[in-house]
Structure 1
Amino acid sequence: MINFDKKVNRLGTYCTQWDYVEDRFGKKGLLPFTISDMDLEFPNEITEVLKERLNHRVLGYSRWKHDDFKDSIRNWYSKRFNCSIDSNWIYYSPSVMYSISKLIEIFSDEGDGVLLNTPAYNAFYEVIGNNNRNIIKSPLTNKNGFYSIDFDDFEKKCKDSKIFILCNPHNPTGRVWSELELIKMVSICKENNVKIISDDIHMDIVYDSKMTPVLNVADNYLESIFICTSASKSFNIPALTGSYVIIPNEEIRTKFENITRYRDFVNSPAILAILGTMTCYNDCEYWLDELLKYIKENLQYTINYIEDNLKPLKLVMPEGCYFAWIDFSELKISSEKFQNLLIDIGEVAIMGGKVYGEESEFYLRLNVACSREKLEDGLNRIKKTIDYIAKNI
């Protein structure tokens, strides 16, 4: 058994979530549940591989174009998702968001529409806007905490879009799109000649639902679909950097390589990232399976705590991702006021839903990828805030 209850002190490690919480929340010393990384130690196998490489004492330029790297990814997709990938489709990238930005550049011109299901990961808004493309929103429908695609609206919005950015599993709501939903998305995009860029970075963080990569239902639209992902979320190694993109279209692979290798010069990988990815996919599946059990228990604990102590807040068990997407709309308080009280009274930092879109203003995104002790502390701080509101507002 892996001890995920072990307390890890991340202060003083130049950690975004802990050391720089004041940057986003304006106050030092808050207990953070913010950035999507984990307060949990990564697998010991990664430690051993990195130690061995560092003990070699030479960190020269490296390569990613070899069978060891590609086969680790290809085999992971085969055993985890029953998805067959040609090794030639795999291409290294420094980050998922870099890949998305470059694919937006390849597939569209300034002023063109890029479609999102909202609420949406906040970086999507930024990458579209800073590429001078037009953000087109197709809001998800929310029925008692369960989100789904409004396909009538989706089809209408596709007519004004060049690209659809799919998020699977969906951040922040935690939906894991079904095969039928993905088939319908692909069909509508094909009818409107809309390219699909799928951010699958949370692909391994799935509980009782089946994760289906959109490639599995691509059919004859395969060469218009592109997956951007990484081992970083699943195994908590984002600081190693590095990701990969799956590009079935040979012409687009060539364009992507020309940009990354000959224009932006980001094609030479960090060797520790390459080693980390291969080790995760080759040797650490057992660790991921235990992690999923632990996070699911944290989510269920959070649901029970809210029902017992934090009414009228509501939480529905997500199908994927490690976020508790908490609805506080019945608290009858503005999102700004609630956030300020969480900071000042509860001394806790939680991402406000408005970051992900106006339609999610009355939500919190609580990261539960942490020890149970930290989670209990955070929930108690929310309760302290709710109790203060009940007495004073």
Structure 2
Amino acid sequence: MKYDFHEIIDRSENNSLKYDELDSMFGRKDLYSLWVADMDFKVAPAIQKALEDKVKEGIYGYTSRPDSYYGSMVNWYNRRYNWNIDKDLVLHSPSVVSSLSLMVQEFTKPGDKIIIQPPVYYPFSNVVKNHGRKLVLNPLKEVDGKYYMDYEDLEEKIDENTKLLILCNPHNPVGRVWTKEELEKLGNICIKKGVKIVSDEIHGDLTLWGRRYTPLGSISEEFRKNTITCLSTSKTFNLAGVQASFIVVPDKEDFEKLDRVMGLYDVSRNNCFSLVAVEAALTHGEEWLEELLVYLGENIEFLIDYCKNHMPKIVPNKPEGTYLVWLDCSNLNMTTKELDDFMINKAKVALDSGFWFGREGKKYMRINVACSRELIKMALDSMKRAYDQL
């Protein structure tokens, strides 16, 4: 490989949430940190170079976005996914979660219903409940370790008060890369029932085993009009800390409404470093990404084989996308509290508790494999020592 993903990087002086907040999140610091979804890899050299050049300028004032900034995003999705995005209907946002919060605020009113599909990224439920909207659950169906949408349940739960569905495509944490046919079925139900879709597609570039990500808004003109899409380089290129994402808004009136409120909260400008990092990633980062996907696939295979051979009661799924693996721990016959205690205080690993993603995840854990394989092995060896004591 041209790029080195094997290196173990000491992030103890990195002001990293993933490492510095172990104590506050898990009650101890001496853990292998494989939880929150950022990578332990250095960014692509082209991104590093762009940031270094910006630092050398020595001036870090208010930014003005060049056409090439949105152009790099438009070209990326056109080239890789045959999705033609109108750059004049794209907004900057600090993060996907802040985008979701603003859209819940602007496109619904207190008491309106919003659907999510658990087990799913836990901020989805938070932004709904924190704005005083009614959360409606359309749980995924699990069949032999693979998850599917429950369309019959969805149709039954939509009524005249249902205004939004928040989709996760690809899905975090179960790793499904929804097929075009699955998305068409979902999209047609929502159009028929008058429900707008807000689609979090932040993991779209991280597909594995030949799976292909389909942007929901790219399927048809009807779908384009009914879908607001949240995109970012933060997962693909490990840029969460630069605070930059995109909102693709198909309707001019909706665009102006969001643009107004983002201006009101003064979150509509990039910082000077996110501007160059994002453009460099989308313009020059493709080769690095392709090698990353190979390494992530190998890490996932290593994890699956290790559990099968040494901890058979812990069963990882094989995700079609993302660098997050959903661990089925139901055969350990532990309560949620017991499972958390086992992982933290006995196995000495920091993982995301499946219960965070909804009650459907209470027998699961989510592990992040976007790190050196050696680090994964050390964490798994620590888990095995605890497992052998059961």
Pairwise TM-score range, normalised by the shorter structure: over 0.9
Q: Who is 2:226 aligned against?
A: 224
Instruction: Render the CA deviation track for 1:46-97: whole Å, top value 9, x for unaligned.
Output: 1111111111111111023x32011100000011111111111211111111
* Residue 267 of structure 1, CA deviation: 1.4
Q: Who is 2:78 aligned against?
A: 78
Rounded Cα–Cα distance in structure 1 between residues aligned with 2:331 and 2:30? 29
Q: Who is 2:166 aligned against?
A: 165
Q: Who is 1:365 aligned against?
A: 366
Q: Who is 1:146 aligned against?
A: 146
* 1:197-208 matches, cutoff 5 A: 197-207=198-208, 208=210
* Residue 103 of structure 1, CA deviation: 1.1
Q: Who is 2:333 aligned against?
A: 332
Q: Who is 1:290 aligned against?
A: 291
One-letter amino acid matched to 1:88: D
8 Å contact kept, 1:115–1:164? yes
Instruction: Render the CA deviation track for 1:216-261: whole Å, top value 9, x for unaligned.
Output: 1243242221001110110001111111100111111111111011
- Point out 4+ residue stretches in structure 1 off by more than 3 angstroms: none
* 1:211-290 matches, cutoff 5 A: 211-261=213-263, 263-290=264-291
- Secondary structure (helix, strand or coil) at the match of 2:230 reads strand
Q: Who is 1:155 aligned against?
A: 155
Rounded Cα–Cα distance in structure 1 between residues aligned with 2:293 and 2:367? 17
8 Å contact kept, 1:69–1:274? yes
8 Å contact kept, 1:218–1:225? no
8 Å contact kept, 2:313–2:329? yes
Q: Who is 2:175 aligned against?
A: 174
One-letter amino acid matched to 1:281: L
- Secondary structure (helix, strand or coil) at the match of 1:269 reads coil
- Secondary structure (helix, strand or coil) at the match of 1:47 reads helix
Rounded Cα–Cα distance in structure 1 between residues aligned with 2:216 and 2:247? 13
* Residue 158 of structure 1, CA deviation: 2.5
* Residue 170 of structure 1, CA deviation: 0.3
* 1:7-156 matches, cutoff 5 A: 7-64=8-65, 66-156=66-156
Question: Cα distance 1:44–1:146, how it changes in 2: closer, same or farther (>3 A)?
Answer: same
Rounded Cα–Cα distance in structure 2 between residues aligned with 1:344 and 1:185? 42
TM-score when normalising by structure 1: 0.97
* Residue 319 of structure 1, CA deviation: 0.4
- Secondary structure (helix, strand or coil) at the match of 2:166 reads strand
- Secondary structure (helix, strand or coil) at the match of 1:166 reads strand
- Secondary structure (helix, strand or coil) at the match of 1:197 reads strand
One-letter amino acid matched to 2:240: P
Q: Are 2:187 and 1:186 equivalent residues in the alignment?
A: yes
8 Å contact kept, 1:31–1:349? yes
Q: Are 2:319 and 1:321 equivalent residues in the alignment?
A: no
Question: Cα distance 1:173–1:327, how it changes in 2: closer, same or farther (>3 A)?
Answer: same
One-letter amino acid matched to 1:377: M
Rounded Cα–Cα distance in structure 2 between residues aligned with 1:332 and 1:103? 40
TM-score when normalising by structure 2: 0.97
Task: Give the count of matched residue pairs.
Answer: 387
8 Å contact kept, 1:172–1:325? yes
User: Gapped runs of 5+ residues in structure 1?
Assistant: none
Rounded Cα–Cα distance in structure 2 between residues aligned with 1:114 and 1:267? 25
User: Gapped runs of 5+ residues in structure 2?
Assistant: none
One-letter amino acid matched to 1:14: N
8 Å contact kept, 2:216–2:224? no
* Residue 274 of structure 1, CA deviation: 1.3
8 Å contact kept, 1:186–1:218? no
Using the aligned pairs only, state the percent identity: 32
One-letter amino acid matched to 2:154: F
One-letter amino acid matched to 2:256: T
- Secondary structure (helix, strand or coil) at the match of 1:388 reads coil
Instruction: Render the CA deviation track for 1:114-145: whole Å, top value 9, x for unaligned.
Output: 10011010111111111111110001000111
Rounded Cα–Cα distance in structure 1 between residues aligned with 2:96 and 2:64? 19
Rounded Cα–Cα distance in structure 1 between residues aligned with 2:29 and 2:162? 42
- Secondary structure (helix, strand or coil) at the match of 2:322 reads coil
* Residue 343 of structure 1, CA deviation: 1.5
